[in-house]
Chains A and B, each alone.
Chain A
Amino acid sequence: RVRGRVDEELLAELEESLLEADVGLAAVEAVLEALRQQASAEGLRSPDQVLSALRALLAEELRRHQQSLATPPEAPGVILLLGVNGSGKTTTAAKLAAQLGGAGQVILGACDTFRAAAGEQLQVWGDRIGVPVIRQEAGSDPAAVAFDTVQAARARGARWAVLDTAGRLQTRSNLMSELAKIHRVVERALGRPADERLLVLDASVGQNGLSQARLFGESVPLTGLAVTKLDGTARGGIVLAITRELALPVKLIGVGEGVDDLQPFDAGTFVDALFGEGSRSGADA
């Protein structure tokens, strides 16, 4: 090894770890360049030193934008969940409703009026956790359901309304306009934008995650991410690329299919798991 320079073999290994976690080549290269500079400036030599510098760097990037769930200025607070097909929106809506106080505190809005049995799915969850679900017939206007849900939350004195929306690919412009309309209607009903507009992202997503965050954000200004399915071996590294580019915080993580499997995001734990260590499930997050 050349004195004062980082071991290129070690950096190549770290590059592979980060690529395997779906951080993406561009972000990986930027991060490793920063690491290379820090390591030579501070004379970091041992693999342990270099690795912990890298972890600290990544955790710092994530912490810079970290934020907890919004505190609404007045009840009801509204949370709008959006994302591509199958990412975990409906399940996350149910978990959130339970976590925000469940019966008497929350109302769920079934704004997915398109997918087969989407309303029934949310209804089963609502029954399970004792939370009312506002629904309309299949095929009806999702913005109207959103409006009804906000009104119902207000009328019944609920503290929160959680809105589930239909999955859609971010390249479908008509469906993105539909989402923008839901957002506008909520704003009109509420007198302010929805308190949270969360993109629900599947942890197993690859580089497409960045396109999702960009394009959903163009239709509805996002307040953060909810990353689901982190109970598997997928690491969700694209989140790093997303926070770098769009400065979005991760607000929630999904770690299972049960109603309690929703946790606040912890940057340190997330970064450890990027390198295949530790687990986010259970009490350690």
Chain B
Amino acid sequence: MAFERLSERLQAVFRQLSGRGKLGERDVDEALREVRRALLEADVHFRVVKEVLERIRARAVGEEVLSSLTPAQQVIRIVRDELTELMGGANQGIAFAPQPPTVILLCGLQGSGKTTTAAKLAFRLKQQGRRPHLVAGDLYRPAAVEQLQVLARQVGVPCHTGGPQAAGDAVEAAAQGVAAATEQGADAVLVDTAGRLQVDAEMMEELRRTRDRVKPHEVLLVLDAMTGQEALNVARAFQEEMELTGLVLTKTDGDARGGAALSARAVTGRPIKFVGTGERVEQLEPFHPDRMASRILGM
């Protein structure tokens, strides 16, 4: 499971520190070097790591911590505070529109898990007694529409693929799909989009036009938990173009350390709302940053 190794590493640092009576700046620096190493090995972006370590160091050597009676405990508290802050607070689910349907747009890089996540969200909403519909907005990837249709059948929800007027226009297909879903009484509409690189100006422009047409209440960036430093650039670019409302971290069922999620959250300020925990449609879980932080930090 993602974040597990990070947790082991950080707790080893804390154990080391706890063993000390007095602490000097040297000891703090040594501990912070280990924290840095743990975060980098977990794929947190090096700039994010740098910033958080500067904050920790400033507090640790500034707040009369070192001269206190329990310096090690104080330093550990500061590290925990700052990393908890980095992860985010309580769980935030889908923010439903006051007037249904709630339109949810999924976007992200190629292969990150958008189509699967759209179906998983539909499954989840259906379990909760809602009437979700899926909309196919990827007209590029071979058999992307068929993939969504197969998943929609598995979940047991309608899937809209855009009428003949869409004629290969992804924006039009998404808009028509949302209109059809609304007409048929959907109370939530999940719009799948084609994967794209954040540096592909034309494709990003298409995504923006899709957003302007379907007016989503939620714009979710779907991010692969195995992503490295690139997560920061990706999240920043999608945030600038799309005004994201949240993140979904996929493929957390492997041994990825998941630091990409921290970079993405740090640079967008948006919460991780869900995590994907497998390939099947029921394998999506709400994310609780505060609980995850406690687990990682051994609290």
Contact = CB atoms under 8 A, between A and B. Distances in A.
A124 B139 CA distance: 13
Contacts of B112: 86
Contacts of B255: 169-171, 208, 211
A210 to B, nearest CB: 10
B229 A20 contact: yes
Interface stretch (B37-45, B69-77, B126-134, B172-180): B37-45
A205 B226 contact: yes
Contact of B254 (A171, A204, A237): A171
Interface in B156-188: none
Contacts of B146: 116-117, 120-121
Given A170-B254, A232-B200, 7 more contacts: A117-B150, A204-B109, A206-B43, A207-B257, A229-B109, A231-B197, A257-B140
Interface string B104-116: 0000011111000
For the complex of A and B, list the 5 residue pairs with the smallest distance between their C-beta atoms, beginning with the closest.
A206-B228, A86-B111, A169-B254, A124-B142, A206-B43
A268 B109 CA distance: 27
B275 interface: no
A25 interface: yes
A233 B43 contact: no
A166 to B, nearest CB: 9
A120 B224 contact: no
Contact of B199 (A117, A209, A232): A232
Given A117-B143, A120-B146, A206 B110 contact: no
Nearest to B115: A116
A171 B251 CA distance: 11
A204 B111 CA distance: 11
Contacts of A206: 43, 226-229, 231, 256, 259-260
B106 to A, nearest CB: 14
Interface of A: 16, 19-22, 24-25, 84-88, 114-117, 120-121, 123-125, 128, 169-172, 202, 204-209, 211, 229, 231-234, 237-238, 257
A120 B260 CA distance: 32
A67 B151 CA distance: 40
Contact of B228 (A87, A169, A207): A207
A28 B230 CA distance: 17
Q: Which of A88, A125, A208, A231 has the largest number of chain B CB atoms within 10 A?
A: A208
A21 B254 contact: no
A16 to B, nearest CB: 6
30 contacts: A20-B45, A21-B229, A22-B43, A24-B40, A24-B41, A25-B40, A25-B41, A84-B226, A85-B111, A85-B113, A86-B110, A86-B113, A86-B224, A86-B251, A88-B110, A120-B142, A124-B142, A125-B142, A169-B254, A169-B255, A171-B255, A202-B224, A204-B228, A205-B227, A206-B226, A206-B228, A206-B231, A209-B226, A232-B198, A232-B199
Contacts of B233: 233
B253 interface: yes
B294 interface: no
B257 A169 contact: no
Majority SS of interface residues in chain A?
loop
B67 interface: no
B81 interface: no
Nearest to B145: A117
Given A116-B150, A120-B146, A121-B143, A84 B251 contact: yes
Nearest to B119: A116
A204 B227 contact: yes
B142 A121 contact: yes
A100 to B, nearest CB: 19
B255 to A, nearest CB: 5
B199 A202 contact: no
Contact of A87 (B45, B111, B231): B111
B96 interface: no
Contacts of B140: 257
Nearest to B44: A206
A257 B141 CA distance: 8
B68 interface: no
A205 B255 CA distance: 13
